[in-house]
Structure 1
Amino acid sequence: MTGQAYINNRDISFWGASFSKGAYEALLKPASVKENVRNESRLEDGVREDTGNVRLNERTVNVPFWISGTSESDYLAKYEAFLEEVTSGLITLKVPALKKTYKLIYSDCASYGHYNLTKGKIILKFKEPNPTDREFL
Structure 2
Amino acid sequence: MSDYRWNAYDPATQWGLYFDKGLDAQLLKAPKLKDNGLSISWADENGTERYLGSQRFESRTLVIPCTLVATSESDFHAKYNSLCDFLMTTGEFNFDVVSRNRRYKVSYLDMSGFDKLTLFKNNNNIGVKLSITLADDHPAERFTIS
The number of residues matched between the two structures is 133
Q: Distance in 2 between matches of 1:93 and 1:65?
A: 14
Preserved CA contact (<8 Å) 1:4 1:19? no
Q: Distance in 2 between matches of 1:99 and 1:36?
A: 32
Instruction: Tell me what 1:106 maps to.
Output: 108
Cα RMSD of the aligned pairs, angstroms, is 2.2
Preserved CA contact (<8 Å) 2:95 2:104? yes
The secondary structure found in structure 1 opposite 2:33 is coil
- Structure 1 runs of 4+ aligned residues shifted over 3 Å read 45-48
Higher percent of residues as strand:
1
Look up the equivalent residue of 1:126 and give its one-letter code.
L
Look up the equivalent residue of 1:6 and give its one-letter code.
R
1:82-115 Cα offsets, whole Å, 9 max, x none, are: 1211222111111123431111111112412231
TM-score, with length taken from structure 2: 0.79
**Identity, % of aligned positions:** 26
1:1-137 matched pairs, under 5 angstroms: 2-13=1-12, 14-38=14-38, 48-88=49-89, 89-113=91-115, 114-116=117-119, 118-137=126-145
Look up the equivalent residue of 1:94 and give its one-letter code.
D
* Structure 2 gap ranges (5+): 120-124
